[in-house]
Structure 1
Amino acid sequence: MDAKGTLSGLPWWIKWIAIPVIALVVFGGLIASVVGFLIGVLFKILLFVALVGGVIYLVRRFTSASSSSRGDW
């Protein structure tokens, strides 16, 4: 007996409400931890990109300012 044969005799609300709710109850913690991990990784990547961009901006700004003021010494 295949899965379609097993589920074919059941009411629609069992297939579309009860089974997904049971899956969420059983695997909800796992799903939440995976989603939380992915959001954390994305946040860390964005933070890394912002910090590297800020450092590059500051280095370029100070090196161009120091090179333009070298003649004043």
Structure 2
Amino acid sequence: MQEMFAGMPWWVKWVAVPVIAIVVFGGLIASVVGFVIGLLFKVLVFAVLVGGLVFVVRKFMSSSSSDRDW
């Protein structure tokens, strides 16, 4: 691979090749990034919902156990 770029100017290796890769694989990269962000959002929503459920259940259990003390 280095022999292929040996006689080329610096901008071919550092500008043109990445731009071509982004143009060719841009849709795939965007899909993967979108999927990862969507998955992270769903994990965050799941964690918040489970935390809220645990909070509500503990609150309910502590209030119902204090009622039995009377």
Q: Does 1:58 align with 2:51?
A: no
Deviation at 1:70, TM superposition (A): 2.2
| TM, length-normalised to structure 2 | 0.95
**Which of 42, 45, 50 is residue 47 of structure 1 equivalent to?**
45
Q: State the secondary structure of the residue aligned to 2:5.
A: helix
Equivalences, count: 70
Q: Can you give the 5+ residue segments of structure 2 that lack an aligned partner in the other structure?
A: none
Q: Give the secondary-structure state (helix, strand or coil) at the position aligned to 1:9.
A: coil
Give the corresponding residue for 1:31. 29
The structure with more helix, counted as a fraction of residues? 1
Q: Would you identify which runs of 4 or more consecutive aligned residues in structure 1 move more than 6 Å?
A: none
Q: Distance in 1 between matches of 2:20 and 2:62?
A: 62
Normalising by structure 1, we get a TM-score of: 0.91
- The unaligned stretches of length 5 or more in structure 1 are none
